[in-house]
Structure 1
């Protein structure tokens, strides 16, 4: 498939796109707002001549945040436009940066929509986070002489095989990229094999290792612990969970409650549309549950706190002794293991970590990550760490050591972006 055929099929598929958007709006009403932006109509006024950063959703927005902060400091004269594709990503961008940046949804990958967006933004540089590759957007940048960087790029073997099936579309698209800043050499080789220009592929490492924890966040977490009278209470978190995982997590928590009746679980579903149903599930399971969003007090009788707020995941991690990272008990590929590690938490996850193979391998080899596959193993690991503070401390230090050993990717990425800007 080449780009012309891809574009034709995209146009023919627009009714399906509309149906999918309607379905998502039914589940999460925020999808019904700002629809025009998705077709490059009704875009906000954008100051031209700056840097355009695309972060598809919440995870990429969080990963991009340190880079964007540094760009704001180093290039205060350049407007920065951040695009995303989801309402939760949009909320996160606004919460992180407010009026310091320009923001809108990225229009769908149609040539005329991409052209309208670029005519409005007129960036000097485009930075796409991780592996969000859109052939028409990239081509429209190339036509206008706008350098495009794929930053913090990752490409699993499975994804590479998928791209390889559409070589006539993928190879020209990758060849139009000015720089691919990849996380590992293995991923660099995959990009080159798919058609990226070898001189435009460089290994910078993962900027997720450059995570910095605000001391004020730790102070706020300690204050809330005191408010809960929970300084000596065992607390664990199951974060970024997906459908199919919550029942396993609640079964593990019931096992833990039989051993430690004062145990508290902080349950944080990945997607906001599941907040309400997870609260109801906890209640049906007979667990005394409160929602973070209501401000209802966590008392000695509370068994589960549902983290149903946006932008608080690091804070909720800070409240726990042990962290389980979701998207890994089901074949979703896992989520960011480094956030709890940076907070000094022993990290647990399921076996499905194909989105973070290199990071998972480093944490596992260092002794900072323990993997589980069912409720029994999860309860055994959490209970075992509560009972063995020496092992918990060892995992904590191992995780912090992995982060320290891999830092520097952000500076390497920023240096490359500066070269392209100049």
Structure 2
């Protein structure tokens, strides 16, 4: 089975290799990234190693409270962090420069690269954030007696159907896990249905509810407010957007501005490397605009639109928002994290496609703590979004109540980190 998997994995890498190489060259990446993906890592000093694997930005964010708690409970351990995507890598380096002994790319799932990485890092425990199950990696960990734990695990209905189609494979893969700590009872039931024994499954809640928010008092928030005068007018933030959500948000903003002149827009794409593409949209929009990565200028305090083409700064902007639209939900991506704006009591709007966060969105909708757009034709989506923005901007009480309910729901669901650390303790003490 693993031989067949290796053949399929190799064919997949070969198929995507030209694209991967082109992206690396375009972003100015060095061959050191590829060495890491082939398992060529540096030894880690500083005690027993806990390896935390995050895929990209969302998982890296979710790992923050967990890594902070691990550092407090196990100060004699070294923590290393791996990611797969470049955006996740940049965020991990920014967030964990003090906490992590090393940050590197996860090895390709070949036997030689996985074995080389495990031989060098020699982890006491591997923690895998959410649902990132690499068959060869998990098998090699188990063969070496290295326990692996899935943490903050989730299995959407769509993912579960895919896993069940290849249950003969994923039953074996799941059974290489020493422990699966899932977000909800539904997630736990799904991973048990795949084949993981009940004794190795726990439910913790969602770690993202334990993310800290410094409001508008953080040094970064104050810097951004000083430069862009964010608190001077109403502000819409279109966060974690994908194509064509920037265009839709701009069209909606244009309609709203016909009625409300004192209003600004921040576009924060999920992938900042798309900045050039979005800059072209802004250039043709007729609005004045600037980019976060440009040198500060006097005009920054008065521009209509700001392009946030950076990683890791969005959370500092949420306290200044009047409304937050969270992307990946008009584009059929499955939605992105709504908890960061909820933590500071912002009024949140999302599109209809939120299958990656079904349980959270369902809870927020039930509490009246979020507004979800209906499914409409693409040509009508900007009109629907503009109509929603206008209704909220002209009804302060309703908007504030939605934000307050979101913040209260966020506060009630905290505590997943402590439950997760307690569940991991036997693996580390053993």
User: What do the CA deviations read for 1:75-115 (whole angstroms, capped 9, x no partner)?
Assistant: 11101110011222111111112153112111111111111
Aligned to 2:28: 29
List, as ranges, runs of 4+ consecutive aligned residues in structure 1 with deviation greater than 6 Å.
none
Aligned positions of 1:17-56 closer than 5 A: 17-30=16-29, 34-41=33-40, 43-47=41-45, 49-56=48-55
- Alignment-derived partner of residue 403 in structure 1: 410
Q: Which structure 2 residues correspond to residues 233-382 of structure 1 after superposition, within 5 A? A: 233-294=233-294, 295-297=296-298, 299=300, 301-373=302-374, 374-382=381-389
Q: Partner residue of 1:75?
A: 74
- In the alignment, the residues of structure 1 paired with residue 151 and residue 316 of structure 2 have an alpha-carbon distance, to the nearest angstrom, of 26
8 Å Cα contact 1:49/1:121 also seen in 2: no
Give 2:95's aligned residue: 96
Q: Note if contact 2:141-2:148 (Cα within 8 Å) is conserved in structure 1.
A: yes
Segment drifting more, 327-336 vs 278-287? 278-287
Q: 1:135 to 1:280 in 2, by over 3 A?
A: same
Q: Is the 8 A contact 2:228 2:302 kept in 1?
A: no
Q: Which residue of 2 aligns with 1:129?
A: 129
Q: Is the 8 A contact 1:129 1:151 kept in 2?
A: yes
* 1:417 maps to 2:424: yes
Give ranges in structure 1 of 5+ residues lacking alignment. Answer: none
Counterpart-to-counterpart distance in 2, 1:229 and 1:122? 49
Compute the displacement of 1:33 (Å). Answer: 5.0
CA distance 1:250–1:216, change in 2 (3 Å): closer
On the 8 A contact 1:24/1:31 being kept in 2, the answer is no
Report what 2:394 is aligned to.
387
Q: Deviations over 1:235-266 (max 9, x none)?
A: 11001000111111110000111111221000
SS class of match (2:293): helix
Aligned to 2:377: none
When residues 403 and 18 of structure 1 are mapped into structure 2, their CA distance, relative to the original with a 3 A threshold, is: same
Answering whether residue 204 of structure 2 is matched by residue 197 of structure 1, we say no
SS of 1:259's equivalent?
coil
Q: Secondary structure at the match of 2:256?
A: helix
Shift of 1:65: 1.0
**With structure 1 as the length reference, what TM-score do the two structures score?**
0.95
**Equivalent in the alignment of 2:186:** 186
Shift of 1:399: 0.4
Q: 1:116 to 1:329 in 2, by over 3 A?
A: same
Contact 2:238/2:325 (8 A) holds in 1 = yes
CA distance in structure 2 between the aligned counterparts of 1:122 and 1:13, rounded to whole angstroms: 28
- Take 1:230 and 1:164, find their aligned partners in 2: how far apart are those partners? 48
> How far is 1:34 from its partner?
1.7
Structure 2 spans left out of the alignment, 5+ residues: 375-380
TM-score normalised per structure 2? 0.93
1:100–1:224 CA distance, 2 compared to 1 (3 A): closer
What whole-Å deviation, never above 9, does each CA across 1:126-175 have from its counterpart, x for those lacking one?
10000111001101110011111000000011101111122221001101
Q: Give the Å deviation of 1:31.
A: 7.3
- Structure 2 CA distance for partners of 1:227 and 1:110, relative to 1, 3 Å: closer
Cα gap change, 1:193 to 1:236, in 2 (>3 Å): same
Aligned to 1:172: 172
Q: Distance in 2 between matches of 1:93 and 1:19?
A: 26
What is the alpha-carbon distance in structure 1 between the residues aligned to residue 103 and residue 367 of structure 2?
40
- Cα distance in structure 2, aligned partners of 1:303 and 1:216: 21
| CA distance in 1: counterparts of 2:119 and 2:108, whole angstroms | 15
Q: Look up the match of 1:58.
A: 57
**SS state of the match for residue 82, structure 1?**
strand
Q: CA deviation at 1:15?
A: 2.2
Q: 1:385 to 1:123 in 2, by over 3 A?
A: same
